[in-house]
Structure 1
């Protein structure tokens, strides 16, 4: 590790420690506008810090800082009757050691262990190992030229690696984290709850996939806007905001694909609005589980190349697997 990178990593750690420390008081006293300013300023500073670094490192730094800053925004935006009850120590554990956006689970940190902790950890370890195995098998298939180095090979490789890394992070490490915190008394929970069981896009994003993101947008964007502008406007702004956050993670690190993530989530906002109409006029359509699963799968997969665009796959996903770029689909 060269000295320049070491200095950047130390600066990154210092930025986040200061963000967490100042964020405690910002959240405690509900300085909402300051919380949003801290989000923009901290992300801009970290981006500048890692602007010439490898896309993988840039992505990880931006994501970590975004999650930290968004916790401050989310807690500052909680309903007025909800107060932050965490001590600074519990806040620090919540802010830097847990991906969820609700501080309430950490109110019991330090108390007797929560039930189900070992089951969560076992589940996470099994998914982590399965994900590592899938990445390893993908590497073997490429090494032995079983997966071709053409457009079809790119699609197969991207699919296998995205599933593998999702198993490692979303279902593996985050489940282990939830279980470990439960052992310490925190009422943490699965952030990814059987997404394949979703019977609508609304259910997928709201109750199944990445609850940290749904908590974030619900508290900071959806609820405040719904009171002023109604449900439909709040839904669309929430999805666009999710798209912008994904731009930070998927487009900014590789300096390409701008607007594609936002377009993906905007499309899903329209689908959510369409589902409300379907429920009113043709309720039996999504009541059939087979039809509903096909519907969800179709709308998740069809526009997926917008979200996981080729520059991100070649610039981040393949390097994470220690693989060279593959020819882009024509």
Structure 2
């Protein structure tokens, strides 16, 4: 009888321990909120990053994505991540600049001629300044992804000269771009979120919007604003972020895995964005759009007006902002006597 009792007790103890062992082996789940078309190359790149991180983490963590804005969209994502309402989120850089003004230092209008130049602002001391500013808002940047240059989608016609910008009702989100548009005597409007800009153009509430070619195509901007002027006004990024408290709770090797895989996707986005932009410029043209380049002389005039905007921004935001200008803008060559 005692032997039978011992066997029963042993079996009961074993059954009680099974859930404990199973729970110990379960990965820590990190929910990731995202938005945007699933066929966009940045969405596909993000999927590759998630898969690579989960595989290298070997069951210690599991990132699960909630795509399509089902949890949060670009307008509210930065607040949701900072407050810990979601562990991870995809933040549209221009939407974060009101909260983290120093991000404007890597989004200077008409400062960079190529996306590669803009990408250099996310390295070295410049990146360290941006990281610190984001951490002060309880956000950890994992990696930026590039979506191409910002172009002008207009219902009124292409832009050849400064006169074509005057009084143009332009939908914008960046404070510095808004300041520049005011100096160019345009009529910028920051009250309409990107998700509502299509209908604003369709109803005649605005004349133009600012967007990358690929994103503009997926959002069907060319249907209501068929004149696309290639300005490469700035080079926005989509930021993979983690709530800082969540980030600090992760083992260092998991953090390193995320950063390493992020560098791969950052590099991928630089190459893919150029190829995708070329493809969708042609697709927009085939669908009735009129794609043209901003004349070099007009761009030069706008760059001259932009310099004052850059300096005014730096003066308002202190020494770190000034340092970002020094690091990221071409500096005049020293005079030779």
- Normalised to the residue count of structure 2, the TM-score between the two structures is 0.23
- Counting strand residues as a fraction of each chain, which structure ranks higher? 2
> Which has the higher Rg, Structure 1 or Structure 2?
2
Larger RCO of the pair (alpha carbons < 8 Å, separation 6+): 2
- Counting helix residues as a fraction of each chain, which structure ranks higher? 1
